[in-house]
Amino acid sequence: MYSADWCGDCIRSKRLMDELNVAYTIINVDADTAASEKVIKINGGLRSIPVIVFADGSHLTEPSDIDLKAKLTSLGII
């Protein structure tokens, strides 16, 4: 998950994945310039976070809890 400490949507997505016992890795876009640039590339020029990248190569940007849970379910993660 591309994230930042100050990001409310990031905190919410982390909390949901913690509640669902989903393992994830945080990549802090404030501490890693290359990560910030990757987020901008993924989002077509926008630095929107969180960006959650899945093992199948797909991603979600700023997902609602409902959308994130649906994606995790569709991938068989939960």
Decide: 70 and 15 in contact? Cβ < 8 Å: no
Spans of all domains in the chain: 2-74
CATH T-level assignment (fold) for domain 2-74: Glutaredoxin (3.40.30)
pLDDT digits (tens, 9 = 90+) for 13-53: 999 999 999 999 999 999 999 999 999 999 999 999 999 99
What's the farthest any 2 CA atoms get from each other in the chain?
Answer: 32
pLDDT given for residue 2 in this prediction? 98
* The overall pTM is greater than 0.95: no
Q: Is the peptide bond before 63 cis (omega within 30 degrees of 0)?
A: no
Helix (H, G, I), strand (E, B) or coil at 29: coil
Helix and strand element counts for the chain (H, E): 3, 4
pLDDT given for residue 20 in this prediction? 98
